Structure 1
Amino acid sequence: MCCWINNQVVTTTFPAGYPSFAAFLGSHASFRIFRRFTSLRLRLMLCKQDDLCILEQQLDAIDSSESRLLYLGSVRQDQNAERKRVLHEIDVALCEYEKDSLVERNERTFARQEGRSRDLTNVRNWLSDKGSIARKESEYIENSTDLMTLEKPAEDSALDGAAGMIERVLMRLPRLLSSRLRVSHSSEPRLWIFPRRLLHGLARVLLAWLLIALLFVPIVLIYGTKSVRTRLILIGVSATLFIFILTVGTKAKTAEVFVAGTTYATVLVVFLAQNGIDV
């Protein structure tokens, strides 16, 4: 979420440096941005992968040089100690590669969203304003290509997008008016944030009016138009706009978009048919 830090000197309850920085990051979920360490994670996976490749080659060599075919056809009667040793090492290496959460950790980490530009700006502004963290230790926030946020992804992308748009509008209101809508955090009295409940409430109102407009405006236009061709064009344009908004503004699946678009178009066609036009 966006914030403002005023120019007044206010004493906080946390000492300067990492205590204050940690309190700031904890004041809002959007500020919890950290490095992803993509290259290091992939480097480790490549090393583990190569270890397994070497063990695989060793096992193939042992099998190829086996003089007693009975050992290759029966695990119980296999007396080749070298093969058993290599298989054990393969088992351990695979555990480190998979079950030891290397793959799972990386999968979870790579699935996390990147930090939004406005959240990065907030953290950078705080570091610049405070100046209490060593430069070398705060350089990570400048690398916008390898950062991730710990903020939980929005379940409703359309609602979150509308809330972000409303927030940007509220930021442009005069400070005296917007200050009545913002709240501060106990750990950072100089940090002002718009409450999520307020933003989501306004976003729901905005989306409700948008849906009402998408449904009733075409009906009104169709009702006031006599030309069948114009009515069909209105239906096509309205259905296209509706599907476009669903596709771009939400995370709806293709089948869900298809059903919703078909239902929407059907409603308009039925309304057109019931107004004395045979379509």
Structure 2
Amino acid sequence: MVELNDVIDDQESPMHTPSESAESTESTVSAYTTQKSNPDPTDGPPEKSKRLFRLIPSFRHDPEDTPDGRFNDLTYESVASYPLGYPSWAAYQNSEPTFRIYKRFGTLRNRVILYRQQELAKLEEKLNELDAEDDKHHNRRIRSLRQDRADKESKRMELIDEIDSKLKHYDDLLERELRSGLMQKPTKRNYRSLVNYLFNRAPVVRSEQLNILKHRDDFILLTGQSESPLERTLDTLICRVPIKWFRRLFSSEAQLDKFDEAKDQHTILTSTEKIEQLARAIASLLAIFLIGVPLYVLASTNFSDRTKLTVLMVALFLFPIAIQIAARPKNHELFAATAAYCAVLSTFLATSGNFNLGQTQFQATSDSTLSH
């Protein structure tokens, strides 16, 4: 999911997503039909085994390999199919959730809010002056809305309507600023991907690129996905591997068809689902290691008490670090998980039966005293 700046040379030929031809589909279907239409009643399997045997081809068969070829002409959207310019730029940002980076225009939004705020402040001051003038002359218009509406010389209702209209627009500005401020910020890696794409492919003129790319802290990322540090690290390492077929293992079929390898050789897409699966596997192994190794040491009689205490302290130190790397916990979740882990290991250490730190030294000292 990155746009690399340097070209990675690879001598392997590009791999294309295989598509089943109509001929292979028909041969598969005909072979399966022949097996079903010519059963041997003498030495066939039992009825339940027959049912299971009939289900096996349905699991192996691709649901899109139909005899009528209804899926043959359906393809994935490709960035290369759009002309170079704003069309290809739009297709690029739509090709991957982490590519949807846009300007927030935070300063511009706040400037508009300040102007509207000043307008409302002047209208409020004008309304207060009108109220003070009516109160000074003991005018009943300030005490009766009916008389205020009936009085043709009164400008209060007209002023109230203007304030109401501007307040609605002002509230809308505040709500939009609040929503845009709560949107996810792109990481440095996300921003570099956008800059590298615009530099490598140059879909728009240089001056228009700089108008958008300047003020790198004024961008938002339109995606609800969030990566753990482990997933980010795995994604970065996979994208930097110079072996093309290895990188393809972590790309989906749709992602392989998104870009033309000849034109967009810098762009590498990785499947979020595959990265998450790899991260889960590593996190599971890490959890087994952090739980299994300390429990083995604490339960074993081959280690001294000081060694057990050392292993316990090291495990308690590594556990919160591993949690923060493999997951995205909140502060209270991290504290609760670490406390539970500490309680489990401490309880196991206390009930292990052979933990007698200090007792051995005391007994040895007593024995030596009695001998004297």
TM-score range, shorter chain: 0.7 to 0.9
Question: Residues 199 and 88 (structure 1 numbering): CA distance in 2 closer, same or farther, change over 3 Å?
Answer: same
Question: Residues 110 and 234 (structure 1 numbering): CA distance in 2 closer, same or farther, change over 3 Å?
Answer: same
Residue 225 of structure 2 aligns with an amino acid whose one-letter code is P
Does 1:121 find its partner at 2:192? yes
1:250 shift after superposition: 4.8
8 Å CA contact retained: 1:97, 1:103? yes
Query: TM-score, structure 2 length as denominator?
Result: 0.63
Question: Residues 173 and 250 (structure 1 numbering): CA distance in 2 closer, same or farther, change over 3 Å?
Answer: closer
Question: Residues 136 and 60 (structure 1 numbering): CA distance in 2 closer, same or farther, change over 3 Å?
Answer: same
Alignment match, 2:130: 62
Question: Residues 257 and 69 (structure 1 numbering): CA distance in 2 closer, same or farther, change over 3 Å?
Answer: farther
1:138 shift after superposition: 1.3
8 Å CA contact retained: 2:230, 2:325? no
Deviation readout 1:192-243 (Å, 9 max, x if unpaired) = 312222111101111112222222232233335432x664554444334434
Size of the aligned set, in residue pairs, is 270
Alignment match, 2:183: 112
Aligned residue for 2:83, secondary structure, equals coil
Q: Percent identity?
A: 28
Question: Residues 223 and 70 (structure 1 numbering): CA distance in 2 closer, same or farther, change over 3 Å?
Answer: farther
1:6 shift after superposition: 6.9
Question: Residues 273 and 130 (structure 1 numbering): CA distance in 2 closer, same or farther, change over 3 Å?
Answer: same
Of residues 141, 152, 161, the one that matches 1:88 is 161
8 Å CA contact retained: 2:250, 2:275? no
1:248 shift after superposition: 7.4
Does 1:153 find its partner at 2:225? yes
1:182 shift after superposition: 5.0
Alignment match, 1:209: 285
Bigger shift: 74-83 or 189-198?
A: 74-83
Query: TM-score, structure 1 length as denominator?
Result: 0.81
Deviation readout 1:31-65 (Å, 9 max, x if unpaired) = 22111111100101111111221122222222223
Cα RMSD of the aligned pairs, angstroms, is 3.1
Does 1:266 find its partner at 2:331? no
State how far apart, in whole Å, the 2-side matches of 1:247 and 1:179 are: 26
State how far apart, in whole Å, the 2-side matches of 1:252 and 1:164 are: 16
Does 1:218 find its partner at 2:294? yes
Residue 341 of structure 2 aligns with an amino acid whose one-letter code is Y
Of residues 224, 230, 239, the one that matches 2:316 is 239
Residue 100 of structure 2 aligns with an amino acid whose one-letter code is R
